[in-house]
């Protein structure tokens, strides 16, 4: 491993470009979601608070641009895993989830997971025959195809990285 300390001239005219060049590096880009400015020298904070806040805002803005321009696929597994872990306590404590567990436990030995893809159309007739013999989990992208064939999934899942589906 190579560890680096990078210093910036915070009054340089091209400061934003310098920061962007650092944040655009793949080795740093993967960790931008962990960015947080820590400042523990309260003495300097008294004199430079405005500049420190400005620098932090510039870093946050530049991170936003770098992430938007990056290949988002490197962030999605991290993002979804983190959100999944955060949701586990409320999911396990929620009444609907507990009710679903108690109502459905041991009712089926088999589960079928359906997602949209090129081979789904070929499998629909077989799925229709077996739909009452298994629990069907369906990705929302495949739901319309199942509905057209009269197949009713037991659960429909959705994994989106924006709030568009909510609207």
Question: What pLDDT sits at residue 76?
Answer: 60
Sign of CA dihedral 104, 105, 110, 115: positive
For residue range 90-133, list pLDDT tens digits in order: 878 877 777 887 888 888 889 999 998 888 999 999 999 999 99
Measured CA distances, 121 to 131, 136, 151, 156 (Å): 15, 16, 13, 18
Q: Is the pLDDT of residue 38 over 60?
A: yes
Question: What pLDDT sits at residue 74?
Answer: 59
């Amino acid at each position: 491993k190579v560890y680096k300390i990078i210093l910036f001239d915070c009054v340089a005219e091209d400061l934003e470009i310098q920061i962007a060049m650092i944040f655009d590096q793949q080795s740093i880009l993967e960790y931008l979601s962990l960015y947080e400015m820590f400042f523990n020298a309260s003495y300097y904070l008294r004199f430079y608070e405005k500049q420190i806040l400005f620098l932090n805002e510039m870093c946050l803005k530049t991170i936003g641009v770098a992430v938007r321009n990056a290949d988002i696929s490197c962030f999605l597994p991290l993002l979804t895993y983190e959100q999944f872990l955060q949701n586990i306590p409320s999911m396990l404590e929620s009444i609907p989830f507990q009710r679903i567990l108690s109502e459905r436990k041991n009712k089926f030995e088999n589960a079928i997971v359906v997602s949209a893809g090129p081979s789904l159309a070929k499998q629909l007739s077989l799925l229709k025959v077996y739909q009452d013999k298994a629990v069907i989990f369906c990705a929302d992208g495949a739901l319309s195809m199942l509905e057209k064939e009269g197949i009713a999934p037991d659960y429909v899942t959705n994994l989106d990285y924006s709030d568009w589906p909510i609207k």
